[in-house]
Amino acid sequence: MADKITPDTLRFERLLDAPLEKVWRYLVDPELRARWFMAGPSELKVGGSFGLKMDHDNLSDENVPTPEKYRPYVGNSWEERITRYEPPQLLAFTWDGGEVTFALSPQGDKTLLILTHTGLRGGDDAVNFGGGWHAHLAVLEKRIKGEFVSDFWALHAQAEALVEEKLGRFRAS
């Protein structure tokens, strides 16, 4: 699967080892979403709220401290707006002036997830959000398989470095 990373758009593809309905639940059920991304109460309809709470200490199965640069954000809660909602194949919501879209399609007994994040404001946003999404999707893959996630923050650091490397050609111009 090819990922696309530019200063204004991120696109990640993942073939997940689960049927469509199971992956959909991980997107919309706040308790399941909290295990790989962020939970929050949501009103699942176009125009409804999509609640998010940064509680990334729950993403690692081991006791891993939050890095200093992210500690000020721990516990932050906010709402975004759902812009598209077509269960069980499409969920899109606003995010800081842009939009995040999850598109799901069945691939036999697996599910192709395509995450697109548009409206980024440049390379710093791409590294920040790209590293985050890359790491969160890695955790989602593990959670769906019932696997152990030892250290979310190590995955996050690796993902940020990967995104920074992929953005190198844009930053040089």
Query: What's the confidence (pLDDT) of residue 173?
Result: 44
Q: Is the pLDDT of residue 56 over 80?
A: yes
Q: Kindly report the CATH number assigned to the domain that includes residue 144.
A: 3.30.530.20
Give a three-class secondary structure readout of 83-106. Answer: EEEECCCEEEEEECCEEEEEEEEE
Mean pLDDT of 142-157: 96
The answer for 108, left when phi > 0, alpha when psi is -120 to 50, beta otherwise, is left
* pLDDT tens-place string over residues 99-133: 999 999 999 999 999 999 999 999 989 999 999 99
Helix (H, G, I), strand (E, B) or coil at 111: strand
**∠ CA 34-36-40, rounded to 5°:** 25
Q: Is the pLDDT of residue 145 over 80?
A: yes
Work out the percent of the chain whose per-residue pLDDT is above 90: 88
Domain containing 17 equals 4-171
Mean pLDDT of 85-104: 97
Q: Could you tell me if 70 and 60 are in contact, meaning their C-beta atoms sit under 8 angstroms apart?
A: no
Work out the percent of the chain whose per-residue pLDDT is above 70: 97
Taking alpha carbons only, the member of 130, 113, 120 closest to residue 164 is 130
* pLDDT tens-place string over residues 161-170: 999 888 875 6
Number of domains comprising the chain: 1
Q: Is the pLDDT of residue 171 over 80?
A: no
